[in-house]
Structure 1
Amino acid sequence: MRYQQLMRGSESHLVAETDGAYYDLTAAKPELEGFRDLARSASVADASIDALAADVLDDAPEIDAGDVASDRDLPVVPEEVWAAGVTYQISEQARQAESDTPDMYVDVYDAERPEVFFKATPSRTVGPNEDVGVRADSEWNVPEPELGIVLYRGDVVGYTIGNDVSSRDIEGENPLYLPQAKVYDRCCSIGPCIVSTGDIPDPHDLSMSMSVTRDGVEIYADETSTIEMVRTCEELADYYTRHNAIPELAVLLTGTSIVPDEGFDLTAGDVVSIDIEGIGTLTNGVRTV
């Protein structure tokens, strides 16, 4: 199933999508206000999130698809968003090109230990149709489309789409500036939904594409597949959770292989659309922060 969060007036509602229809789980079970409640209940019952949701569907009212599109919010509010880097060959090449110390990226690409870093807090994360941010003190900002792993108490329960917006000139100036290049206001978006692991049996073979429009004109487009990843989702999740006090709910982005050319700079007013097979399309505007 796919799970989305809607703002209906001042109230948050968890919606499940199955067979092209949308069902308001919160209307049937007020205790299920969000995805966290569903994941927590499934954990207590030692059941899958889909099995728990299926028990509620018969009593859940159906919602019009147009209302879902207009009321859509962050599908989940994770305490932490982390990310992985240099998981695709092209991202290794791009990080080398921007950096004054390129050899370190070759070492990470070939190493046993992956690069896993903190990305965002809830206050820095936006949802579908909200604006992501680009830093006013950066002259080379890029979107980074990524498959996101949704973890409940360290276990993978679903997948989403993430945009790991980055300031490549700040990171390239010195690797120690990575936190400033990655973590700032509106630096991350996730959505439009969470797809359960039951609906994506193999996350390592999904087509992915991204387009950027400016003043209504497409200025960038590219596509790839997660089959190009040199790390598995399980491996990245394992390194994220090792010796780490992980939160109840987290999202781990898995890296990008769609890297705009050096002359491309994301600008306020642009619109970024990221599509991943089986999940959907995450669309965000852009503003300067």
Structure 2
Amino acid sequence: MRYYQLDEGGTPRLAVQTNGTAYDLTTAKSELRTLDDLLRTSSITDQPIDTLADRLLKGADECSLPTETASPPPVHAEEVWAAGVTYAISEQAREAESSMPDMYLDVYDSERPEVFFKATPNRTVGPNDTVGIRADSEWDVPEPELGAVLYDGEIVGYTIGNDMSSRSIEGENPLYLPQAKVYDRCCSLGPCVTSADSISDPHALEMWMTIERDGEVMYDESTNTGEMDRTVQELVDYYTRHNAVPETSVLLTGTSLVPSESFTLQEGDVVDIGIDEIGTLTNTVVQV
């Protein structure tokens, strides 16, 4: 099942899509307005979220899902974290941009992965909203990533993440990573959360990204999460290790789709990121 966050005049509503039909679960149970509400109920009752949602379908109204209007992220993640250098091409790209390239090779080959803080809710946007590039950056790229949705540190679903990044700032000095990664509109999540039980294998999903500028395709490439050098569970284990993680969080698992060194995002660019069994996340770029 796929879960969406709707916003009707400032009123949150939880929708679920199954077998091609979308239902407004809030019409069946007014207390269920967000995925967080459903996850909390699942934890209390010790029942999978899909089982709870399935029981509500008969009493829920069918609904339409927004396709062009800006929507909230499908999950209210109190924190978004990310993992880096989890694909070989990512390691190569980070080496190419950096004044200290050996450190990225060391991370790629080491037992401990790179896991870093990415965003808070006020820095995170949803589908069809705008993502930001920093005004003090000269080289900016989107980074498409599979996102693991966690509740109490356990994987409950998957979403798509756009880890917006300033390659010029990080490349100048790796200690500038927080400024390259954490800023206004630096992260997008969506368009939905697909339950973990509905994902056949998180390590065998096709992932693609296109970037359009004034109707012209500037970038169009695809990959597979099977190219990841680490497992999602391994990354989650390091994220939660000795760490007081919030009730609901998202961990982005790294990218292998990296535009060439000659490309940088501009205002008005449209970024589409797709992952099989989840959908397509669309955002337009704005300078912040």
TM-score norm. by structure 1 comes to 0.98
**Which whole-Å deviations, capped at 9, do the CAs of 1:261-281 have from their partners, x for residues lacking one?**
001000111000000011000
Contact 2:70 2:127 (C-alpha < 8 Å) held by counterparts: no
Q: How large is the RMSD of aligned CA atoms in angstroms?
A: 1.0
- Give the 4+ runs in structure 1 shifted more than 6 A: none
2:278 paired with 1:279: yes
Secondary structure, aligned partner of 2:103: helix
- Per the alignment, residue 9 of structure 1 pairs with 9
Contact 1:159–1:195 (8 Å) recurs in 2: yes
Aligned residues: 288
Deviations 1:189-242 (A, max 9, x none): 000000001110310000000000001111111110000000100000000000
User: One-letter code of the match for 1:53?
Assistant: A
Distance 1:177 1:73 in 2: 29
Give the secondary-structure state (helix, strand or coil) at the position aligned to 1:198. helix
d(CA) in 1 for partners of 2:31, 2:154: 22
Aligned to 1:260: 259
Q: CA deviation at 1:69?
A: 5.8
**Residues 153-172 of structure 1 aligned to structure 2 (within 5 Å):** 153-172=152-171
For the residue of structure 1 that corresponds to 2:197, the secondary structure is coil
Deviations 1:43-102 (A, max 9, x none): 11111110111111110111135x576474311110000000000000000000011111
Contact 1:6/1:71 (8 A) holds in 2: no
Residue number in structure 2 paired with 1:38: 38
Distance 2:68 2:75 in 1: 16
Letter in 2 for 1:89: A
Alignment partners' CA distance in 1, 2:78 and 2:172: 30
SS in 2 for 1:203: coil
What is the Cα deviation at residue 26 of structure 1?
0.8
Instruction: Indicate how the Cα distance of structure 1 residues 101 and 194 shifts in structure 2: closer, same or farther if over 3 A, else same.
Output: same
Displacement after TM superposition at 1:174 (Å): 0.5
Given that residues 81 and 118 in structure 1 are in contact (C-alpha distance below 8 angstroms), is that contact kept between their aligned partners in structure 2? yes
Structure 2: which 5+ residue stretches go unaligned?
none
Q: Which residue of 2 aligns with 1:190?
A: 189
TM-score, length-scaled by structure 2: 0.98
Distance 2:219 2:68 in 1: 25
SS at 2:115 equivalent: strand
